[in-house]
Every structure is written in structure tokens, then in C-alpha cells.
Chain A
Amino acid sequence: MAAWATGINLVLGTAVGWLLARKAFPGRELVDAILTLPFVLPPTVLGYYLLVLIGRRGWLGGWLHDTFGINLIFTWQGAVIAASLVAFPLVLKAARTAFEAVDPQLEQAARVLGLGEWAVFFRVTVPLAWPGILAGTLLVFARSMGEFGATLMVAGSIPGKTQTLSIAVYEAVQAGQDSIANTLVLITSVTCIIVLLVAGRLSPPGTRR
């Protein structure tokens, strides 16, 4: 589940981060603020929004159900959407910062040398911004693994399907199963520390030439 959320965010976050960094359009900062909302809103509020949106009576969820017979609530796919949304600002911020740090002159140099815009993006921009984006993506992985509130609201807690580690910890403690809780807490902590260390190493050491 965390892997799915990470993958989705990697693609979307990179695309939107690039747009926000390179394209000046009216309301750019407003878009940034709205997309950062999931980071500061209480997870339950976010989960509620999601229920309203993709629940069977929500306008998107209702459409999906009527047209394709797809139901997202209480499924792992629903959990992926919840986790993606919560962690999206992390990738977005990282990607925007990374893209803004790329020297526009290098992109200019590539254009003069005969490259089209897609080639400039994949041969110059992405390689230079990559470490920063990857660092943000790892944070998303850690965040998705620990997702609690929004996931619980949207997907419930079905063992082996939509139960995240943090929800499992909560239930283990509630049920008095301290040894299980201990193990889960340890796994989560160690994984998160590793991810943070790797992310720190990937972060760009200033602008390189």
C-alpha cells in the first residue's frame, strides 16, 4: 500500500512540482497552498472529505459505482488514495524545491544545442532535480506506512487488506497484546529511521555545478 502511494505521488508530485516551479500562472501560490492542505488538516477531516468525494454517495464515488461498479470505500485501493493524499505535499514541496534549484541556464544551453522541450526535461532537468525528488518520495513512503486517521475513515481496518502498521499498533494496544505492539513499533521505528537517513543523504548539497 505504501509502495502504491509512493509511486502515485512520485509521478504526480514531480509533474505538479515542475509546473509550480517553472510555469508562472495566476493563482500559482493558491494552488500550492491548497495542495499543501492535507499536510496541516487533521487526518479525520481529510478522511471525511474523501468519504464525501469517493464514497458511494459522493459525486466521484457514485459515478465510479454506477459506471464501472467500482467501490473504493473499505478497500485497499481506497487506503492508497487516502495515504497518497496525506503524503502528497511532501513530494510536491521536495519536487518544487528541487526543480527551482536547477540552473535555468543549463536548460537554455540544451535548447541552443537543438533539443526539444521533452528532451530538455528528461536529459537536463530531471537528472539534476532527481536526488531532491527521491528524498521527498522516501518521506512519502515512511508517511504512508504510518498513515492512521484518513485511512481509518476511508478504508477501515481489515487485517491483511487495509490495515496500516500504525492502525495495527493501535489495535494491538487496545487488545492488550503488548508483545505484538512492541514488535510493530520497533519495525516502524527502524524503517522510518533508515528512510530518513537515506533521504538526508540524497538531499542536494546546495546547488552543484
Chain B
Amino acid sequence: MSFSVDIAKSVGGSRRRFDLHVTFETTARRTVIYGPSGAGKSLTLQAIAGLLAPDRGRIMFAGETLFDREARVNVPARARRFGYLFQDYALFPGLNVRQNVAFGLSSGLRNPPRDATGVAVEHWLDALELREVALQRPGELSGGQRQRVALARALVNDPRALLLDEPFSALDPALRRRTRGELDRLLTRIGIPIVMITHDPEDIDWFGERTLYLREGGIREVDDGGMDGGAAGNKRG
């Protein structure tokens, strides 16, 4: 499983302009993109997920071209089959935990019923200890529970890779520590490749099998961390 990303994107108007240019290749199972807020980490992750179309460049995953401006290829987000963990989880407020977890299993015009079930739903409710709160809505859950619901929702579709946007920033420090350990064990168990963006150095220690440093819109340096890495370069800031 490998990601190959070479994209450029300009955002903002004439007064305040931000140029992002990110180039990297990774074959690591766990890749962390580290950088301060405003460096363009979120834009990069959104581009990989297909939620944002870059102005130029190419995105490949496991040999498949997901985006190529010149060849006019842009696989829509729904067809990329990635799991995405949003920073504040983006759970559907009107749906209970079961419905949230089962959300991606049907692509019709109706939401899953309150008592939605299925092998995958039951599996992830158990695996992430959500059975007790299965009928509650996101507004009634703690921060840690919300994160686990978001994880279950992302994993229930059996995604090809998991993209994580600052997964621990919404949690208080004590919980953050425990949750890191839990996520680490979970990822080891299911063996799914991840790309995580973060501005917390501690995340690198836990998940940075390979770490890319993003500053002011460009990849500055690359820490191979002993893994076989591809070429990565800084074009401009």
C-alpha cells in the first residue's frame, strides 16, 4: 500500500493568499504529517480524501490514480473507499450511535433505521465498546465515546486506508494519553494503513513510522524513521 502525492493548491483571495505545494511518497503503514496550524495539513488530507480538488498535480494510491489534473481524473470521495476521522468527529447529530455507525453501509436516500444492525455494525459496536450507548445520540456522549463512534463509522465500510485529522485534539490531556494507546492497539490489530495529520509532537512518537514535516505550505524535511521512503521535496513555501 503506498501513497504518492504531488499537488499544488492556492486558496484565499487577492488580499490573503495561501499556496500549498506538497510532494511525498510513502509506503509506510503509518504516515504522520506534522506541522503547525495553518500549514496546510488539512488541505492535504482533504485532497487525498477527494473532498478538495487541487489546482495541479497527481494523487495515487496503491497504483491507482485518484486524481490527475492533466488526465482529468478525479475519483469522487465516495468511490475512493477511505475512512476519514474528522477533527471534531462530524457525527450526525440527529442520528443515534447505531445509525451513525451504519450510515455508510447503505447509499440510498434514506438513513438507516434506529435499530440498524448487521455483522459489521455489531462487530464495531463491540470492538469499540459502544454497545451500552448504541441508542444514544452524539450530543449525549463523552468526547472519548464520540471519537470511538467516529472510528466505528469510518471502519464499518472496510476502508482501504484511514485518514485521521488531529484525532486527539478534541480530548482533554489525560484522555488523550489513554486514547492514543487504544488507537495504537486497534490499528495494529486491523493492520490498515493510515495517514495522520497533527500538530502534537507526541503523536509522532506513537504513530510516526514515517513523518513528514509541513511548514507554510510545503514539505520541508523528511524523516524516514528507518522505513523505505520515496522521494520528497520542498518546492516552495
Q: Do A and B come from one complex?
A: yes
Report Cα–Cα, A103/B51, bound state, in Å.
14
**A111 contact set on B, CB distance < 8 A:** 50-51, 76-78
Q: Which residue of B lies closest to A122 (CB)?
A: B109
B142 within 8 A of A: no
B49 within 8 A of A: yes
Report Cα–Cα, A108/B82, bound state, in Å.
13
Which residues of A, 108-129, contact B by the 8 Å Cβ criterion? 108-116, 118-119, 122-124, 127-128
Contact B94 A119 (CB under 8 A): no
* Shortest distance between the CB of A202 and any CB in chain B (Å): 14
Partner of B109, one of A103, A118, A209: A118
Partner of A113, one of B46, B88, B153: B153
A179 within 8 A of B: no
B92 within 8 A of A: yes
Contact A115 B86 (CB under 8 A): no
How many B residues, CB 8 Å from partner? 31
* Shortest distance between the CB of A121 and any CB in chain B (Å): 9
* Shortest distance between the CB of B67 and any CB in chain A (Å): 15
Report Cα–Cα, A106/B95, bound state, in Å.
12
B107 within 8 A of A: yes
Report Cα–Cα, A75/B82, bound state, in Å.
57
How many A residues, CB 8 Å from partner? 21
* Shortest distance between the CB of B64 and any CB in chain A (Å): 17
Contact B90 A109 (CB under 8 A): yes
Interface bits B111-129 vs A (CB < 8 Å: 1, else 0): 1000000000000000000
**A106 contact set on B, CB distance < 8 A:** 90, 92
**B16 contact set on A, CB distance < 8 A:** none
A174 within 8 A of B: no
Partner of A114, one of B46, B78, B86, B109: B78
Contact B90 A115 (CB under 8 A): no
A208 within 8 A of B: yes
Report Cα–Cα, A127/B109, bound state, in Å.
12
Partner of B49, one of A112, A118, A119, A208: A112
A105-B88, A108-B77 known; 7 new pairs, CB 8 Å cut-off, are A106-B90, A108-B51, A112-B49, A112-B50, A113-B103, A122-B109, A128-B93
List 18 A-B residue pairs with CB atoms under 8 Å apart, sorted by A's residue number.
Answer: A105-B88, A106-B92, A108-B46, A109-B90, A110-B92, A112-B51, A112-B77, A112-B84, A114-B81, A114-B157, A115-B107, A122-B109, A123-B103, A123-B109, A123-B110, A123-B111, A124-B92, A208-B139
